Structure 1
Amino acid sequence: MKILVAFYSMYGHTYKMAQAVAEGVKELEGAEVELKRIPETMDQDFLKELGALELQEQFADIEECRLEDLEAADGIIFGTPTRFGNMAGQMRQFLDTTGGLWQEGALIGKVGSVFISTATQHGGQESTILSFHTTLLHHGMIVVGLPYSFAGQMTMDEISGGTPYGATTIAAGDGSRMPSENELAAARFQGKHVAEITTKQLAK
């Protein structure tokens, strides 16, 4: 059973969550996980101006995601930053190339899930995931979120991401805040949960 974690990250926040998701998948015996990055489409000079180019070096050696990777996976967990309540343009552009897979019905019946990062506490965490789900549903995927059996999403002791739609993190506007342990725990939980659901689907 193979799970693909396909992420786009500009400053590294979504990458940290992707690593935790992959760790969660590995907790399930027999589960194989691949971590792939969505290709960057932004001009390198502009990325440098934004202070992102150097930070992207931490995951530059991870292979870019290809359409064949989606087709080969039994389950796919997507990760993206939020842009005005929607997925990042890099992720949207990649998904817009999946028309051939849609025509073939290649993703029908596969498990799909989403985790995200926002700059602020109320920066569109839920709207980003829910709008992302639309694409998964058009592909005929089985959408899986983050159940309340992960009690950390109900914490009132700290500011924290985490929704029933998927794991989330908050980057604090200027990017200075990296995922908290509670947010990383949510990502690990989601990874294992998706692997478990995928295993059940394959057993049918």
Structure 2
Amino acid sequence: MFDSSVSVVVAYHSGYGHTTRMATAARDGAAMVTGANAEMIMIETLDDSHWEQLDAADAIIFASPTYMGSASPAFHRFAHDSSSRWQTQKWKDKLAAGVTTSGSMSGDKLHTLQYFTLLAAQHGMHWVNLDLLPGSTDADLNRLGGWLGAMGRCPGDQGPEAMLESDLRTAAHLGQRVATHAQLLSHARAASPAVMA
């Protein structure tokens, strides 16, 4: 019998609370999967125990607002600091996914998700995309039509409480998908250790 327990960590930065809501939704979605332990780490307050938690995770979901066409400066610092993990390939073969928000409909959120995918690739991680067709109304999942990850949008003059539930449910869907695939990968490794080594 396989051990179905997996760990999903959401590593996030949020400037005004919008990304916190998306990151929380992603965590909650992952936690819906039986056997998945899902946690959040605010990257501005990382200490050695947080890095160890990331090293031990089966999957890491990157979350950042999109500022000036890319992830926030705080997230870029986190990515830079992760280079010590890159040197030893500590995150190799983990799963990765991404969540981002911006104040405008486009806001170049796609570029932030592409940045996350490159970061994951440099670490040798496996990217989990968003398996949803674009929504056609504001009430639909994936209403912003992203493919690489979950996107949220809330006008800059509105607080995080004004975010649409559909964006939060999209992030939750992604979190659930990540946890499910982490379990599938864990089972595959247990079933074929020689092949997966």
**TM-score computed with the length of structure 2 as normaliser:** 0.84
- Counterpart of 1:18, as a letter, is A
Is 1:127 the counterpart of 2:83? The answer is no
**Structure 1 unaligned regions, length at least 5:** 41-62
Is 1:102 the counterpart of 2:107? The answer is no
The match for 1:66 is 50
Is 1:27 the counterpart of 2:11? The answer is no
The match for 2:152 is 169
* Distance of 2:14 and 2:158 partners within structure 1: 12
The match for 1:118 is 102
Kindly state the Cα deviation for residue 16 of structure 1 after the two structures are TM-superposed: 0.6
Kindly state the Cα deviation for residue 80 of structure 1 after the two structures are TM-superposed: 0.2
**Structure 2 unaligned regions, length at least 5:** 1-5, 189-197
The match for 1:11 is 16
* Distance of 2:73 and 2:178 partners within structure 1: 25
Two-structure CA RMSD over aligned residues (Å): 1.9
Kindly state the Cα deviation for residue 67 of structure 1 after the two structures are TM-superposed: 2.1
Task: Sort the Cα spacing of 1:158 and 1:89 in 2 relative to 1 into closer, same or farther, 3 A.
Answer: same
- Of the three residues 173, 176, 192, the one matched with 1:189 is 173
Kindly state the Cα deviation for residue 157 of structure 1 after the two structures are TM-superposed: 4.7
- Report SS of the residue matched to 1:80: strand
1:41-52 matched pairs, under 5 angstroms: none
The match for 2:193 is none
**TM-score computed with the length of structure 1 as normaliser:** 0.81
Kindly state the Cα deviation for residue 158 of structure 1 after the two structures are TM-superposed: 6.1
* Distance of 2:59 and 2:138 partners within structure 1: 33
* Distance of 1:115 and 1:157 partners within structure 2: 18
Kindly state the Cα deviation for residue 156 of structure 1 after the two structures are TM-superposed: 3.1
* Distance of 1:158 and 1:33 partners within structure 2: 26
Identity among equivalent pairs (%): 28
Kindly state the Cα deviation for residue 162 of structure 1 after the two structures are TM-superposed: 4.9
